[in-house]
Chains A and B, each alone.
Chain A
Amino acid sequence: MTALLRYQAALLVRSQRWLPPFILYAVFLAVGVQGGQPVLDSLGYAAAAVLPVAAWLVRICAGNEPPAARAVVAAAVGPGRAHLACLLVALAAAALLGTAATVLVTLISDPASADHQVRVEPLPAGAAGLLAALVCALLGTAVGALTTWPLLRSPGRAVPAMMLGVLLALVVAGSPAQSAITSLVTGSRAGTVPVPLLPLAGAALLTAAATATACALTARRSP
Chain B
Amino acid sequence: MQSDLRLTNVGRRYGIRGPWVLRHIDLTLAPGTLTRVEGANGTGKSTLLRVLAGIDTPTEGTLTGRPRTTYVPERFPARLPFTAHGYLTHLGTIHGLPRTTAARAADEWLERLGAAAYARTPMAQLSKGSSQKVAVAQALLPAPELLVLDEAWTGLDTAARAELERVVAELTASGASVVFVDHDPARLAGAPDATYTVTEGGLNRRTAQAGSPEPSGPHLLVEAQGPPGAEPPAEALRWTTSRAETTAPGGHRLTVPRTHSDVVLRALLTASPPWHVASVDPGAPARNHTTAPAPLTTDEGPR
Q: Are A6 and B90 in contact (CB under 8 A)?
A: yes
**Most chain-B Cβ atoms within 10 A of its Cβ — which of A7, A16, A72?**
A72
**Would A75 and B14 be within 8 Å (CB), given that A14-B82, A68-B77 are in contact?**
no
Interface string of A208-223 (1 = CB under 8 A from B): 0000000000011111
**Most chain-B Cβ atoms within 10 A of its Cβ — which of A16, A77, A222?**
A222
For chain A residues 14-45, which have a beta carbon within 8 Å of chain B? Answer: 14-16
Q: Are B59 and A66 in contact (CB under 8 A)?
A: no
Nearest to B70 among chain A residues (CB) is A75
Which residues in B have their C-beta under 8 angstroms from that of A7?
90-91, 93-94
Smallest CB–CB gap between B259 and chain A, Å? 24
Nearest to A70 among chain B residues (CB) is B55
For chain A residues 134-188, which have a beta carbon within 8 Å of chain B? Answer: none
Q: Are B93 and A71 in contact (CB under 8 A)?
A: no
Docked pose: A7 CA to B95 CA in angstroms: 12
Residue A73 CB within 8 A of the other chain? yes
Q: B14, B55, B82, B90: which contacts A71 (Cβ < 8 A)? A: B55
For chain A residues 99-152, which have a beta carbon within 8 Å of chain B? Answer: none
**Most chain-B Cβ atoms within 10 A of its Cβ — which of A3, A66, A75?**
A75
**Would A14 and B81 be within 8 Å (CB), given that A71-B55, A74-B55, A219-B55 are in contact?**
yes
Q: Are A3 and B93 in contact (CB under 8 A)?
A: yes
Which residues in B have their C-beta under 8 angstroms from that of A221?
14
Q: Are B53 and A75 in contact (CB under 8 A)?
A: yes
Residue A11 CB within 8 A of the other chain? yes
Which residues in A have their C-beta under 8 angstroms from that of B56?
219-220
Docked pose: A220 CA to B15 CA in angstroms: 8
**Would A75 and B55 be within 8 Å (CB), given that A68-B75, A68-B135 are in contact?**
yes
Q: Are A73 and B94 in contact (CB under 8 A)?
A: yes
**Most chain-B Cβ atoms within 10 A of its Cβ — which of A11, A76, A219, A220?**
A76
For chain A residues 56-104, which have a beta carbon within 8 Å of chain B? Answer: 65-66, 68-69, 71-79
Which residues in A have their C-beta under 8 angstroms from that of B94?
3-4, 7, 73, 76-77
Residue B217 CB within 8 A of the other chain? no
**Would A3 and B135 be within 8 Å (CB), given that A72-B71, A74-B55 are in contact?**
no
Docked pose: A52 CA to B90 CA in angstroms: 30
Interface string of B58-102 (1 = CB under 8 A from A): 010000000001111101110111100000001101111000000
**Most chain-A Cβ atoms within 10 A of its Cβ — which of B54, B69, B96?**
B54
Q: A6, A14, A78, A79: which contacts B93 (Cβ < 8 A)? A: A6
Which residues in B have their C-beta under 8 angstroms from that of A68?
73, 75-77, 135
Residue A10 CB within 8 A of the other chain? yes
Docked pose: A16 CA to B124 CA in angstroms: 14
Residue B6 CB within 8 A of the other chain? no
Which residues in B have their C-beta under 8 angstroms from that of A11?
80-81
Docked pose: A68 CA to B76 CA in angstroms: 6
Q: B76, B82, B139: which contacts A10 (Cβ < 8 A)? A: B82
Which residues in B have their C-beta under 8 angstroms from that of A74?
53-55, 71
Nearest to B139 among chain A residues (CB) is A72
Q: Are A75 and B69 in contact (CB under 8 A)?
A: yes
Nearest to B14 among chain A residues (CB) is A222
Nearest to B142 among chain A residues (CB) is A76
Q: Are B59 and A220 in contact (CB under 8 A)?
A: yes
Docked pose: A66 CA to B123 CA in angstroms: 13
Q: Are B79 and A66 in contact (CB under 8 A)?
A: yes
Smallest CB–CB gap between A92 and chain B, Å? 17
Q: Are B57 and A72 in contact (CB under 8 A)?
A: no
Nearest to A81 among chain B residues (CB) is B94
Q: Are A75 and B90 in contact (CB under 8 A)?
A: no
**Would A10 and B57 be within 8 Å (CB), given that A68-B77, A69-B76, A71-B50 are in contact?**
no
Give 13 CB contacts A-B under 8 Å: A3-B96, A4-B94, A6-B90, A7-B90, A11-B81, A66-B79, A68-B135, A72-B71, A72-B72, A74-B55, A75-B71, A219-B55, A219-B57
Q: Which residues on A are within 8 Å of B, measured CB to CB?
A: 3-4, 6-7, 10-11, 14-16, 65-66, 68-69, 71-79, 219-223
The 5 A-B pairs at the shortest CB distance, nearest first, are namely A75-B71, A14-B81, A3-B93, A219-B57, A68-B73
Q: Which residues on B are within 8 Å of A, measured CB to CB?
A: 14-15, 50, 53-57, 59, 69-73, 75-77, 79-82, 90-91, 93-96, 135, 138-139, 142, 148
